[in-house]
Amino acid sequence: MSPVEPRLPKGMRDVLPQQMVLRQHVLSILEEVFAQFGFEPLITPAVELEEILLGKGGSESEKLIFNVEHVGGKERLALRYDLTVPLSRVVGQYPDLPKPFRRYQIAPVWRAERPQKGRYREFYQCDADIVGSASMLADAEIIAMIYTILRRLGFEQFVTLINDRKLLAGLGQYSGVPADQVPVLHRTIDKLDKIGADGVREELGKAGLSLPSVDRLLQMMRPVDGAAADLQALRQELKDIPSAVEGIDELSELVGYLPALGVDPDCYRIDLAMVRGLDYYTGPIYETVVEKPRIGSITGGGRFDGLVGRFSNKNYPATGTTVGIERILDVMEELQMLPPGMGQTSVQVLVTLFGDTLQNESLKLLTELRLAGLRCELYYSPDPIGTQIRYALKKGIPFVVIAGPDELAQGKVALRDLRTREQVLVERKSAASALERSLNAACS
RNA sequence: GUGGACGUAGCUCAAUGGCAGAGUACUGGUCUGUGGAACCAGGUGUUGCGGGUUCGAAUCCCGUCGUCCACCCCA
């Protein structure tokens, strides 16, 4: 009988142990920073009732939903395609949760999209949201948290672009675009950095907008550095459009909090041409782009004051962000941003095995090292020492403890550092502490 | 959903209508004290799959599946 051909569904992948080393490192930093900012973890099921997932974000995102079936099933089930909708359900379902409710969630989501570089049909989302506060302090904290996360991960050249939906709506009004054409306007100016001012002018002209108003818009799309004077000028220009003024005031307040939160001014910028696709955003929106390799956005979020209202008589203002871990991992691999000392395995020590009579000595030593908290693997057959060392090398294990007849006869073991090729003979009893010292030294 | 490129050994790739190749990995054997080994022996394979053209197809044509890229959208 021929074996079943081992393969994966389209757009899905395995994460092998070697890749898990970096992934777990990144995830642990994320969880740490989320916790530092006062967010608490939440788990919701991968499967939701279909009615929970449908009816948001227009029919576009609904086409991407995976349905779940089982024989005799009476419920219409589907896999979640983001973490924001489940969050909204939770807030609606447990009205007693103290507000503001701040939760983070790191979990896979599924979208039946056509796969591409950095885009998969199953991927992890890392969301942190604050529900139940309309304060710009919440938005400022989200941006400060993004900044902290990326710095902790070792990113240097990144910018969080900030804009506001109310301001964008005002710009639509300002340009004289009919209400039903505003989405087209927004989608087009979002492409400003890609197709340039001429491209935008051309596309909007085709869409039937008058060229003078397009030019007035483009004039306004110049970078805004967030300085009070700059925002004031913009406010003056748009003073007759209440929505725009409201948006500018929000941005101005939000940006005003960032210095005290320790955010480097080079790492954020108000960008009137940044839109974001989802239509449920109602206030400030943010998106972080890495500038060195043009990989696109690695975080995205904003304020969504209307979403929870779908699941409750009461509506709650909310804001938050998604951290795109899959893209972050791609960028970190491309830029070789591995922390020092990080190898291809989490195993720290290989314990050698010699002849049958010494086997129990290896087992005892192994157990001692494990009790001391070291991650240890035992070599299973009494092969020549060279073979055992080569195995450790191939697997990327940094240290080998050689417990051979010569060493044990003196009550000692040899510790070999495979990266420096240095080998020391230590008392058997102090093997664990000596190894811990060496490992700490190697990682610093 | 639209458009493009590609599909040969587990992996990276050669072979331009005329006999299936290299490197690496893999399996077994030799080697009882130290660097990704050497030596020997060996699968390395329906050239993604199906059809067509041809005396003859990995090669040309059509279809299909898969991978990648661009668009749409997004993380």
pLDDT at A148 over 90: yes
pLDDT at A144 over 90: yes
Q: Is residue A10 part of a domain?
A: no
Domain boundary among A334, A365, A384: A334
pLDDT at A290 (0 to 100): 80
Q: Are residues A292 and A364 in the same domain?
A: no
Q: Are residues A303 and A363 in the same domain?
A: no
Residues 6+ away with beta carbon under 8 Å from A79: A46, A47, A48, A65, A66, A67, A68, A109, A110
Q: Are residues A280 and A385 in the same domain?
A: no
Residues 65-84 of A with CB under 7 A from strand B: 82
Q: Are residues A32 and A172 in the same domain?
A: yes
Residues A6-22 have pLDDT tens digits of 778 888 888 888 888 88
- CATH (domain of A102): 3.30.930.10
Residues 105-134 of A with CB under 7 A from strand B: 111, 113-121, 123, 125
Domain boundary among A334, A368, A388: A334
Distances A250 to A111, A339, A346, A424 between C-alpha atoms, Å: 33, 38, 46, 63
Q: Is residue A28 part of a domain?
A: yes
Structure-model confidence comparison of residues A184 and A155, the more confident one: A155
Q: Are residues A55 and A203 in the same domain?
A: yes
Q: Are residues A69 and A188 in the same domain?
A: yes
Q: Is residue A342 part of a domain?
A: no
Q: The tokens of A65 are what?
A: 């939903």
- CATH (domain of A413): 3.40.50.800
Lowest mean pLDDT among A216-230, A259-273, A358-372: A216-230
How far is A422 from A417, CA to CA, in rounded Å? 5
Q: Is residue A85 part of a domain?
A: yes
How far is A80 from A43, CA to CA, in rounded Å? 12
pLDDT at A97 over 90: yes
Q: Are residues A305 and A358 in the same domain?
A: no
**Residue-averaged pLDDT of chain A:** 87
A92 SS3 class: helix
Residues 6+ away with beta carbon under 8 Å from A250: A136, A139, A164, A166, A167, A283, A284
Total domains in chain A come to 2
Q: Are residues A27 and A131 in the same domain?
A: yes
Range from A25-39, A180-194, A285-299 that averages highest in pLDDT: A25-39
Q: Are residues A211 and A288 in the same domain?
A: yes
Residues A313-364 have pLDDT tens digits of 998 999 999 998 888 887 787 777 777 777 788 899 999 998 878 889 999 9
Whether nucleic acid strand B comes within 7 Å of the CB of A334, the answer is: no
CB A162 within 8 A of CB A139: no
Q: Which nucleotides of B are covered by protein (CB under 7 A)?
A: 1-2, 31-37, 66-75
Range of the domain at A419: 349-443
Residues A375-417 have pLDDT tens digits of 999 988 888 888 889 888 888 899 999 999 989 999 999 999 9
Q: The tokens of A136 are what?
A: 């710009």
Structure-model confidence comparison of residues A57 and A329, the more confident one: A329
pLDDT at A444 (0 to 100): 52
Whether nucleic acid strand B comes within 7 Å of the CB of A412, the answer is: no
pLDDT at A233 (0 to 100): 84
The nucleotide closest to A300 (CA, C1' atoms): B75
Q: Are residues A422 and A303 in the same domain?
A: no
Separation in Å: B60 C1' and A295 CA: 39
Q: Is residue A107 part of a domain?
A: yes
Provide mean pLDDT across the span A418-439.
Answer: 92
pLDDT band at A1 (very low <50, low <70, confident <90, very high): very low
Residues 213-252 of A with CB under 7 A from strand B: none
Q: Is residue A339 part of a domain?
A: no
How far is A36 from A83, CA to CA, in rounded Å? 21
Q: Are residues A200 and A129 in the same domain?
A: yes
Amino acid identity of residue A227, one-letter, is: A
How far is A27 from A149, CA to CA, in rounded Å? 10
Provide mean pLDDT across the span A191-210.
Answer: 76
Q: Is residue A56 part of a domain?
A: yes
pLDDT at A191 (0 to 100): 80
Domain boundary among A274, A300, A334: A334
A275 exposure class (CB count in 10 Å sphere: 0-12, 13-18, 19+): buried
pLDDT at A123 over 50: yes
Lowest mean pLDDT among A114-128, A139-153, A201-215, A372-386: A201-215
Q: Are residues A67 and A181 in the same domain?
A: yes
Separation in Å: B9 C1' and A10 CA: 24
pLDDT at A57 (0 to 100): 45
Q: Is residue A340 part of a domain?
A: no
Whether nucleic acid strand B comes within 7 Å of the CB of A305, the answer is: no
Residues 336-355 of A with CB under 7 A from strand B: 354-355
- Strands A268-270 and A158-164, by their bridges, are parallel
